[in-house]
Amino acid sequence: MQATTFKRGLLAAALVAAVGTGYAKLGGDVIRAADAMAAVTAPEPTGSAAPLVRPGVGLPDFRAIVEDSGPAVVNISATGTSRTAFPSGDRRQGVPDLFRHFGIPTPDEEMPSRGTGSGFIVRADGLILTNAHVVSGAEEVTVKLTDKREFKAKVVGIDKLTDIAVLRIDARNLPVVRLGSPDSAQVGEWVLAIGSPFGFENSVTAGIVSAKGRSLASDSYVPFIQTDVAVNPGNSGGPLINLNGEVIGINSQIYSRNGGYQGISFAIPIDVAMNIQEQLLQHGKVRHGRLGVTIQEVSQSLAESFGLKSTAGALISSVEKGSPAAAAGLEAGDIILKLDGIVVERSADLPPRVAAIQPGTTVKLQIWRKGGSRDIALAVGEIPNTGMAAASGDEAENPRLGLALRSLTPDERRQAVSPDGLLVESVSGPAARAGIQRGDIVLSLNGQQVRDVAQLRALLDKSGKTVALLIERDNTKIFVPVDIG
């Protein structure tokens, strides 16, 4: 359909260019204008096989899809602070007074930062999906709807491994998107994106699915949908929509040599995002499965050397000591052919499939070893300390303080000077003005040691207008007064 229309458009353009000469140059061959006109008006060839492209049908009309899905797409603004520093590492030595006189941040001082992105409403009660990198580390998140209403959003939780974040706004009866199946998407089919590139809210771009199941070097746990839809800064977190008006992905990344769109963009499949959303809502955190192996692609030469007839599978190049794979008896040189009966076509297919399995689940691997196949049962482990974080919700419950806190993990307890305390996930309001930072550990409030969020909340309810927090930062402890009014 599109190829025929495009070809005829080229021929028509060539005819216009050839007026007065009787000839047109097309694709390097000089043809007579009359012959070109005959090519345009010639009937479609007949035969028993139906043509793949139907004549007389134009490009798809996206207006109904945009009208239906557009109101559920939101603009997201995230604000926080960042630090300035001399490249050489010199701190405040030799800093001229004019920096302060003109209000310019001095090196190693905090300065406001602001970012924008996109998102979409998945539940009418205010639940929103976006990318983790859009809101990660933000002190304040604002969601703007197409009807110009703005809401302060609470970060329900984020998962940096898959780059998914869940937000909530206090609103009801909101428009929502319809969710589709990424598995049903076909390479070559039309898709469109709605988002806020460079801050231009609710911009629509279209293209086709270029590939499925793409694995990127920095994100091997997500089977990305590759498209040629124009995606730019600000599109992150917006929906990728098929011709049925269903969201099949979240626009997340581009491949670029200059920082701008160059024809290749990647979207996270919506089923991956919904799995993360449910874990965050039900458990407040996300768990990802792991085997504990390093794998590589099976090339034709490797397949022949191992006695395999095809290149399907994932070749194990190393096994981590003490890992689930080591406990199950996997060895370097084994080739994983199937996971729970499903063929591993490429090595890149394995990490996202394993990551989606709940830790502790027993799976069956079919492997190739020394010229024969065998089955091995394996209890899936858990990916440790992946940068996953779930917001505790305490900032919303304790606006007087302006801190979102959580308990320390076992690894964080071992690294901290004090084994007890609460880790600061995000900062805003009074705590931010007092100089408390994300990553600090709150040890006590008004001299009372705090071990959990409920205890801190109870102490805060009994406090006056100013509280003294004992903070641990970089293995150093300091009292910080916070005016909570």
CATH number at residue 226: 2.40.10.120
Total Cβ atoms within 10 A of residue 385: 10
User: Which of the two residues, 264 and 483, has the higher pLDDT score?
Assistant: 264
Dist. CA 198–CA 117, nearest whole Å: 9
Percent of the chain with pLDDT over 70: 75
Phi/psi of residue 107, nearest 5 degrees:
-55, 140
Flag whether 388 is in a domain: no
Flag whether 387 is in a domain: no
Q: Give helix 33-41 / helix 2-17 axis angle, nearest 10°.
A: 150
Same domain for 115 and 47: no
Tens digit of each residue's pLDDT (9 = 90 or more) over 272-303: 999 999 999 988 889 999 999 999 999 999 99
The CATH number of the domain where 432 resides is what? 2.30.42.10
Domain boundary among 358, 382, 406: 382
4, 102, 89: which is closest to 51 by C-alpha?
A: 4
Give the model's pLDDT for residue 115. 80
Give the model's pLDDT for residue 450. 86
CA atoms within 13 A on the CB side of 142: 10
Dist. CA 275–CA 236, nearest whole Å: 19
Same domain for 165 and 83: yes
Q: How many structural domains comprise the chain?
A: 4
Same domain for 222 and 171: yes
Structural domain harbouring 302: 289-382
Flag whether 389 is in a domain: no
Tens digit of each residue's pLDDT (9 = 90 or more) over 89-126: 333 444 444 333 334 444 445 555 678 899 999 999 99
Tens digit of each residue's pLDDT (9 = 90 or more) over 327-370: 999 999 999 999 999 999 999 999 999 999 999 999 999 999 99
Tens digit of each residue's pLDDT (9 = 90 or more) over 6-50: 333 333 333 333 333 333 333 333 333 333 333 333 344 444 444
Same domain for 335 and 424: no
Flag whether 364 is in a domain: yes
Question: Model-level pTM?
Answer: 0.67
Same domain for 256 and 109: yes
First to last CA, the chain: 67
Catalytically active residues, by annotation: 133, 163, 236
Same domain for 90 and 22: no
Distances (CA, A) of 99 to 28, 93, 376, 435: 62, 13, 65, 20
**CA dihedral over 167, 172, 178, 183, signed as positive or negative:** positive
Domain boundary among 240, 260, 286: 286
DSSP three-state, residue 170: coil
Same domain for 337 and 429: no
Work out whether strand 422-427 and strand 441-445 pair parallel, antiparallel, or are unpaired: antiparallel
Phi/psi of residue 219, nearest 5 degrees:
-140, 65
Domain boundary among 230, 251, 286: 286
Kindly state the average pLDDT of the residues 410-437: 78
8 A C-beta contact, residue 106 and residue 92: yes
Residue 5: pLDDT over 60: no
Flag whether 260 is in a domain: yes
Flag whether 222 is in a domain: yes
8 A C-beta contact, residue 400 and residue 461: no
Same domain for 122 and 145: yes
User: Which of the two residues, 176 and 86, has the higher pLDDT score?
Assistant: 176
Tens digit of each residue's pLDDT (9 = 90 or more) over 366-423: 999 999 999 999 999 998 754 445 444 443 345 567 888 887 776 677 677 677 788 8
8 A C-beta contact, residue 436 and residue 427: yes
Same domain for 327 and 467: no
Q: How confident is the model at residue 465 (pLDDT cuts 50, 70, 90)?
A: confident
Give the model's pLDDT for residue 460. 82
* Residues forming beta bridges with residue 114, ordered by sequence position: 79
Same domain for 250 and 151: yes
Same domain for 81 and 212: yes
DSSP string, 211-277: EEEEEETTEEEEEEEEE-----TT-TT-EEEETTSEEEEEEEEE--SSSS--S-EEEEEHHHHHHHH
The average confidence (pLDDT) of the chain is 80
Q: Convert 115-149 to b/e letters by CB count within 10 Å (16 or more is b).
A: bbbbbbbbeeebbbbbbbbbbbbbbbbbbbbeeee
8 A C-beta contact, residue 292 and residue 357: no
Dist. CA 140–CA 213, nearest whole Å: 34
Write out the two tokens for 188.
Answer: 């070559």
Write out the two tokens for 174.
Answer: 């909101």
Same domain for 140 and 273: yes
